[in-house]
Structure 1
Amino acid sequence: MSEKNNGPVAINNVTDDSVNDPIQQILEYERSLTLWQALCKYKKAVFWAVVISNTVIMEGYDTSLISSLFAFPAFKENLGNLNTNGTYEIPAPWQSGVANAASCGQFFGLIIAAWCVDRFGYRKTLIANLLFFTGAIFIVFFANSLGMLTAGQVVCGLPWGAFQSLAITYVSDVTPVVLKPYMATYVNLCWVIGHLISAGVLRGLLNINHDPRSYRIAFGLQWIWPLPLCIGIFFAPESPVWLLKRGKEKEAMNSAQRLTSTQEDAESFYRAAYYTNLLEVTYAENSSYSDLFKGANRRRTLLVLYAWVVQAWCGSAINGYSTYFMTSAGMSTVHSFDITMVKNVISFIGTFFVWFTMRWLRRRFNILIGLFLHCVVLLVIGILGTQSPLQNSSVSWAIAGMILCLQLVYSSTMGPIAYLACSEFPTARLRAKTASLGRNLYLLCSISRGVITPYMLNATAWNWGAKTGFFWMGFSFVFMIVSFVIYPEAKNRSPMEMDYLFEHKVPSRKFYTTEIDDKVGEDLKMSKEMCSIKSKC
């Protein structure tokens, strides 16, 4: 891109006439990088992004664990009520309470994490949350009542909120444009891995189901994660974007060197982060929560919030409660857990499938085709629900097959969409706060979804069973129409280009075709005193 003697040292003497040339070089360099070139140049960044992202595995593990335990015999016998037909059942109100408890904790954890990361950085915030989580596991492990389990889930939810928001923002900060979507979807893959491990653990524990406390082993296995993750994060480099925001330019350059393979790559990465930060200060100097809804940031924030709402209310609730859903539809417990295992493997494969399709398919097309297929599959599930699956095993298996189809569609289209939105739509200076707010809205949607879903499926409540598919199909159809109108195309756009497109109110349908070139540099010239702006970064 440029010689080493033109590195970040020269940025201290930026003048109005010299802005366009480095900006143009940065944009051309980012566009010219192939996937393989980026992997070679930024393999260290990929490694550290993977380390940080693996914290999400714990959150995925427990969210899947709790919903699946409602169908686990030992759990129901130990904490549930005896029905008149001789079977045990966790009452619908307690199902809603236990399932949503972690979301309540995450809500506050996200707010605390956004405040902490602004002041202490990613490394210290994540390590503190891992240590806190180690102690919180004791509550759920020794819980002997649904009330104590609910309280434990709330406490565990506090660090899970931090893991969810900080993983995606760190990944976005340390990876170049070509790698950003792959690493963002890897965060989603970690969530899937947690689900897969949870399903495998519970399926294995069915073999020792004679012990009424066998399910506690599943809770105790969570102690495996924190120590190795703490060690890895301790040695990880801090985000250069966060360091620049704090005015620590020398430390930011050192961090860039730890994330890249050569000095030239480090200088290129540093300049891109520096000018992005400078441009965003030009557009909006402050970076508080109120700034999320000012000027162009309002549109960016609303798009991230919308992506999280779509993920929560597109029908994924059926996937989350698949084990309990299938037992309600008449399938045996063992077969239900087997199907859940297959479902999570399909989810794993679907996320890998996204890595291939995103090279050719645009984000906008991906979300639209995903919502359309969701509508079709959910409609079929609803129709099958009208055929009395409890009295017809073939219908139960047909419903199971459609749930697997639904999982494949979700994991290869809708599942990663919110993570991509968090990495591509917000400004770098507001990314952590936007991710926190978006995830909090997702949690509120999940809580409302978690309240009604057990009532839909529980035989002692509404008892909709598979007819629940009709309900979620309606939401998917509405989201498909809204997405067609408002969702912009962010593929192959650098953070500086996204800043320009949003600031100049480019219509969503023109995001992909709008030529930018040297226009970003012209916007930087709007400030008459570049050095004074630099001092505020």
Structure 2
Amino acid sequence: MSYHDRRDSDPIKPSIHEMEASRSWQQVPQNEEDITSYNPYTSQTQDLGYSASASVETENSKDNEGQMPLRQAIKLYPKVAGYCLAMSIPIVGWGYDLVIVGAVVGTDSFLKDYGEMIHGKMDTPGNWLSLWLGLPPAGAAIGSLLGGWLQNKIGRKFTLMMGTLVSAVAIACMFFSHIPEPLDTKRMLLTAGLTIQGFTVGIIRGVCVTWVSENTPTALRGSAMALFPVFTLLGQLIGLLVTLAINGIEGNSGYLGAFGSQWILAVGPLILSILMPESPAHLIRTGQEERAIKSATRLYAPKINPFSQLERIRATIEEEKANTASATYWSCLRGTNLRRTLIVGLASIFPPLFGMELLSNANLFLRSMGMESTPSLVFMAAGVVAGMFGNAIGFWLLSRTGRRNMIIPSMGVAAILWGAMGITGFWSSEALTWVAGGIMMSVIIVCGLGAWPAGYAIVGETSSLQLRSLTQGLASIAEKGFSITLAIVLPMLFSRDKAALGAKTAFVFCGTSVIGAVLTWLFVPEMKGRSAIEIDQMFEMRLPARQFKGLKLQAHQVQESAPLAMQQQYA
């Protein structure tokens, strides 16, 4: 039974205060009347087609929000765009953490306090190093899983606040771990801090992805999700710069400064958790209608009628509730939701598939091939900058072209580049080592233009609103599991005391890139320009992936009027 066949759902009713406060929405410039006026007798699907053009929209116009240019969409939804940008602030901390831990444990000052003499040289024992590199992503996977459940219980806003506060405790464990005298106590305290920090990163990242994906309009959704890889790389770049700075500092001040700097990065998410509006979709789903009106007003008014936006969110959630009785992890693995969860899981592992694990450790990899330390660090920094450049263009491309058109070609080109690099591994020369570094930079640019940002867009739009936070948690398990596996296997392949494959390691990612392109062609549908309710309906129809793009859905003739917008119209 569809939402439009039911008559028993209670309408969302604005209070007298809210109706009085909303009178200003009717005072709009003449050239914006076509995008702000609302006809309560028009169907909700027709209401989806707000036009950002100044010309009057005709009844038969087929223009819809999904085809709106990015610049025009930002102008129409300035507050939403601003909050999406703000939600990227915690992602900087995530990128920073990815770099800083691996960099700090190799510094001389750190080894003096936490290392031991191995074969006449201060070094970190392999078992402790494995724990420090492996437990943070494992903690992040658990944090994502718990965070997905917690978001549905206490909301996105308070989950972000909780994750940030626990993060501050984790940073304290790392910062003060040098104080105890026993060496093993120092190491255990540091291990606990790193694990808890990974746990909080999983929670915080899950909140940001969920909030952005469920509150951005169709025209902004893909580009907004593409901000995450850009700001992840920005955090990594900051981490690299901090690493270069602390290398020249004697004593423990260097690594303590690196650990303590994470407190500074935690301030932004804490302030954001206090100031941000709660997600209207979460509030509607949990029956908090008055709070939903206030949040929607902060996000959409005055250019967009927040009441009509809430009606659209409500229609989608009620449709989903008719098909999914409760929001649980088990629900994500049943019926059509299983297909959607698998697609989100596939999109989340695009970075490991195109070689992000090797690219993130480019300095270690290139050093194993004989490159000096400084050039290898320069290559890594250049790769981060190149990735930011590629993702910045990918941010714009997502508003212009489809997800499949970005993923499949970029994965294909990445496979060719990795294959070429693997072939160079059959010879040994210093020049070919530099060629390998150049190819790795090319891969990150190509995938930054396509698979990386497009993967985030798919993660943000595929799951249902009701199960979004839970699906993100399951997808994170897949991503972290894949990443941990590669983190263990890759050093065995390229290390000089192990397989010593050198550039031939690239053949692994030549194969995984091909697999990613093929799986995308077979299973990932094109959802660009589709509203949440349209995506729900196409999955319910069990359409093959390659039929999504060409399907023309009939407009729903909504039988119920939109009570919020109707009362607003005559307030």
Q: TM-score range by the shorter chain?
A: 0.7 to 0.9
Mapped to 1, the partners of 2:128 and 2:492 lie a distance apart of 11
Equivalent residues in 2 for 1:52-71, closer than 5 Å: 52-69=87-104
Looking at structure 1, the residues matched to 442 and 134 of structure 2 have their Cα atoms a distance apart, in angstroms, of 26
- When structure 1 is superposed on structure 2, of 138-147 and 177-186 the one drifting more is 138-147
The match for 2:318 among 258, 278, 283 is 278
Which of 436, 449, 458 aligns to 1:412? It is 449
Residues 77 and 303, structure 2, Cα contact 8 Å, conserved in 1 = no
Kindly indicate whether the alpha-carbon contact (under 8 Å) linking 2:368 and 2:502 is maintained by their aligned counterparts in 1: yes
Instruction: Measure how far apart 1:365 and its partner are.
Output: 1.7
In the TM superposition, 1:26-425 aligns within 5 A as: 26-27=48-49, 30-31=65-66, 33-69=68-104, 72=107, 74-75=109-110, 79=114, 90=124, 93-144=127-178, 147-208=188-249, 210-211=250-251, 214-262=254-302, 264-388=304-428, 392-425=429-462
CA–CA separation in structure 2 for the residues paired with 1:91 and 1:405 = 35
Q: 1:453 aligns with which of 490, 499, 503?
A: 490
Q: Could you tell me whether the CA contact under 8 Å between 1:54 and 1:187 is conserved in 2?
A: no
2: CA distance, partners of 1:10 / 1:429:
19
Whether 1:442 and 2:482 are equivalent positions in the alignment is no
Q: Which runs of 5+ in 1 are unaligned?
A: 1-7, 532-537
Q: CA deviation at 1:70?
A: 6.0
SS at match of 2:412: helix
The answer to whether the 8 A contact 2:145-2:476 is kept is: no
Distance in 1 between residues matched to 2:114 and 2:370, nearest whole Å: 22
Alpha-carbon offset, residue 12 of structure 1: 6.9
Give how far 1:501 is off: 0.7
1:89 Cα deviation after fit: 5.4
The structural deviation recorded for 1:318 is: 1.0
What displacement does 1:149 show? Answer: 3.3
The letter for the 2-side match of 1:173 is: E
Evaluate the alpha carbon distance shift between residue 91 and residue 449 of structure 1 in structure 2; reply closer, same or farther with a 3 A threshold: farther
Q: 5 Å matches for 1:447-486?
A: 447-486=484-523
Q: Is the 8 A contact 1:79 1:146 kept in 2?
A: yes
Stretches of structure 2 that go unaligned for 5 or more consecutive residues are: 1-8, 15-39, 52-64, 179-185, 564-571
Aligned-pair CA distance for 1:269: 2.0
Identity of aligned residues (%): 25
Give the alignment partner of residue 552 of structure 2, picking from 498, 515, 521. 515
Deviation at residue 504 of structure 1 after TM alignment? 0.4
Task: Assess if the C-alpha contact under 8 Å between 2:403 and 2:458 holds in 1.
Answer: no
Larger-Rg structure: 2
Amino acid at match of 2:141: F
Structure having the larger proportion of residues in helix: 1
In the alignment, what sits opposite 1:501? 538
Shift of 1:228: 3.4
The amino acid of 1:230's aligned partner reads L
The alignment's TM-score, normalised by the length of structure 1, stands at 0.88
Structure 2 Cα separation of the partners of residues 477 and 301 of structure 1: 22
Counterpart AA for 1:98:
W
Contact 1:43 1:261 in 2 (8 A): no
RMSD between superposed Cα atoms in Å: 2.7
CA distance change for structure 1 residues 67 and 403 in 2, over 3 Å: closer, same or farther? farther
Name the CA distance, whole Å, in 2 between partners of 1:477 and 1:365. Answer: 15
CA separation of 1:78/1:396 partners in 2, compared to 1, >3 Å: closer, same or farther? farther
